[in-house]
Structures are given as structure tokens and as C-alpha cells.
Structure 1
Amino acid sequence: MTTTSSPAASSPSEIVARNRDTMRRIYLEIIDSGRVDLIDSHFAPELTNHTAPEPLRHGTEAIVGLVTMLRTAFPDCRTEIEDMVGTGDVVVMRNWFSGTHLGPFLGNEPTGRPFRFRQMHWMRFGADGRVTDHWGLRDDVAHLQQLGLTR
């Protein structure tokens, strides 16, 4: 199995830089571009996505499902990274997520409406540079309101 394309990191600052680069690539290349072929090189097989519902919480197949769902519902989705900080094996990112509702989402037909809302993501990385744990905080209410799916 391959790991991230970043060179081997040895010093604490190199490890943080590698992990920040991996997190950036996850959102810009995998989520925004739909590159599910990169998932195994960025996420550990024992991944736990702590904010996902239980059936989608463990392993890389759950990430494939998530990316597929997002890219189907919002094929033009984009992540705008505002800030990213890292220390040790942890990186935290603050970002905007935007796009247009052009496919089915949570049982709802496409509305054609654009959206833009804030997110924060917290990831822990293993020694090989792949994500082992993820926590996310999203403004789901703003997202659903902008799509016209809630009042």
C-alpha cells in the first residue's frame, strides 16, 4: 500500500508540514475533485470518522461512500481553506464549503440552489502520514436552509 507522496518526515516540524499537506490534499483533491483513488494513500485502514453515523464511521470504504455522495449531490463543490494549524500528530482546519445542489442529497431531489457554509476539521495522523481519526464540525443548519430543505 502506498502512503502520501510527501517525502519521509523526521523532525517534528517536517511531520507537521507533511500532515498539513496531506489534509490540504484530502479536501482539494479527494473531496473537491472526486479522486477516490487517493483515499487509501491518505487514510489508514483503521480510520475512525468520529462524527459520521455509526454505519459509516470506520474504514476507508466509508470515505469512498462519503465522497461519492458529496460529488453526486454537489459536483461543483469546493473547499476554501481559511486556516490550518498543526502540532504533533494533529492538524485542525477552518474552511468554507460551497457548491450547487445538482443531485440527490439525503433523500431530497436537486434544488439547483447554491450554498456556502463554514466547517472545521480535526485529524490525527499515524506515523506513516495517513489519517487515523477525524472529527468534523459543520454548519449543517445553514447548509440545509440555503438548499431550502429546512425552515
Structure 2
Amino acid sequence: MLTEQVRQARQKLVLAHFHDEVRQDWDAVLSTFPHPHYELVPTLTVHDGDSTVRTYYRDTRIAFPDQAHEIISLRHSDDAVIVEFWLMGTHLGPLGAIPPTGNRFRVRMTGFFIFDEAGTLVCERVYFDTLSILKQLVGGLDLKRPKNWLLAVRCFKGLLAMSSGQPAPALTQTPPPSFSDEPASKAAQ
């Protein structure tokens, strides 16, 4: 079981991480874990290591320069701090191959900040509904206006281009856990 001191230290670290992301102070964010590692489950992408994570930060802030969040709730487990939050921003730059639409989005997300046995943050694993974001960014285009037709086609082509990549094996080939209370014959299956 976690001590109250460990809970408070983890919570302080996670809240600092969130705060520094909004401020776009990447050095401060990256100081919260010795080896930065993000897993974005809905897009099946992993950003591992300082330079890859910095590129991820840069790319998302080009797409959404005003990206911010509102924390809904924060919970503790034995090896993680789990945060539900709203992420929002305005699509002012390219999001991968999707051109900017100028539309805002607001989507509910869950982030698992995972800690190892020594109490070090080792991963931020994020879950969200990509369709909710796309519906707000692309679906928000007024297709009654002919000037938006070309942008809608470019967005659709961008979505297709982004969906052709290979998923990160770390997110698709996970070993099943073994539970100490399972019968030996069941665990072997």
C-alpha cells in the first residue's frame, strides 16, 4: 500500500507535469521523468526518449498552439496516478497530414502516469476518443460553403495518410498478466 507521503509526492509531480505542459516549458516537463515515454493508445503510437518526445510536443503545439486542459479528477493506484481531464485547443497548424481547420476541440481523456518500484515516473499512457476530436475539427467545417470543400477533401486525404502507418508493437502485443490467485492450469492457457 502507498503511504500518504508517496501519494502526495506523486500527485505533486503529476500536477507539475500538467502545469508545465500548458506553459510549454518542455525542460521542466521532461525533468519529471528520467526517460520520457508516452504511449498514445488510440493512435497506437509511442514516443520514447527525449528527442522523440520533444518532437511530439513541437508537432502538437504547431497544430494546437493554445492547447490546454482542465483536470476533472485525479486518483491513485499502487503504481499509477490516474488523471481524467479535458484537453482543448484550436486547430491552427497541420496535425500530421491533416491541414488546419481553424476549429476548436474539447475532448475528455484519461492519462495513466505509471511509476516503477523505486517511485520514478516511467510512462504517461493516454486514452482518448479520436473520433470525438476529428468530429470537432473536420466535422465542424461548414460544407454548405464551397470554399470549405477543398479543405474537407484535404482533411480526408490526410486522415487516410495517417491511418496507413504501422501500430507500435508495444501497444498491440502486450503479454497477459498472471494473477497470483489463478489456478496454475488456468494461468498457463
TM bracket (short chain): 0.7 to 0.9
Q: Is the 8 A contact 1:117 1:142 kept in 2?
A: yes
How far apart, CA to CA, are the structure 1 residues paired with 2:34 and 2:52? 12
The two structures have a TM-score, normalised by structure 2, of 0.64
Code of the residue aligned with 2:28 in structure 1: it is L
2:25 pairs with 1:21: no
Q: Which has the higher helix share?
A: 2
Going from structure 1 to structure 2, the CA distance change for 1:12 and 1:60 (only over 3 Å counts) comes to farther
Code of the residue aligned with 2:38 in structure 1: it is N
How far apart, CA to CA, are the structure 2 residues paired with 1:66 and 1:25? 19
Q: Which residue of 2 aligns with 1:100?
A: 90
Q: Which residue of 2 aligns with 1:85?
A: 75
Question: Paired residues, what number?
Answer: 139
Q: Is the 8 A contact 1:39 1:63 kept in 2?
A: no
* Pairing of 1:23-102 with structure 2 (within 5 A): 23-30=14-21, 32-45=22-35, 47-51=36-40, 56-102=46-92
Q: Identity, % of aligned pairs?
A: 23
Q: Is the 8 A contact 2:37 2:53 kept in 1?
A: no
Q: Which residue of 2 aligns with 1:8?
A: none
Q: Which has the higher strand share?
A: 1
Q: Which residue of 2 aligns with 1:5?
A: none
Higher relative contact order (CA 8 A, sep 6+): 1
2:76 is paired with a residue of what secondary structure?
strand
Larger mean Cα displacement after TM superposition, 107-116 or 92-101: 107-116
How far apart, CA to CA, are the structure 2 residues paired with 1:110 and 1:139? 19
How far apart, CA to CA, are the structure 1 residues paired with 2:10 and 2:78? 9
Going from structure 1 to structure 2, the CA distance change for 1:127 and 1:18 (only over 3 Å counts) comes to farther
Q: Which residue of 2 aligns with 1:139?
A: 129
RMSD over aligned CA atoms reads: 2.5
Unaligned runs of 5+ in 2: 139-154, 157-189
C-alpha displacement of 1:24: 1.8
2:109 is paired with a residue of what secondary structure?
strand
How far apart, CA to CA, are the structure 2 residues paired with 1:70 and 1:128? 31
Going from structure 1 to structure 2, the CA distance change for 1:73 and 1:129 (only over 3 Å counts) comes to farther
C-alpha displacement of 1:130: 4.1
Q: Is the 8 A contact 1:39 1:64 kept in 2?
A: no
Going from structure 1 to structure 2, the CA distance change for 1:34 and 1:128 (only over 3 Å counts) comes to farther
Larger mean Cα displacement after TM superposition, 69-78 or 56-65: 56-65
The two structures have a TM-score, normalised by structure 1, of 0.79
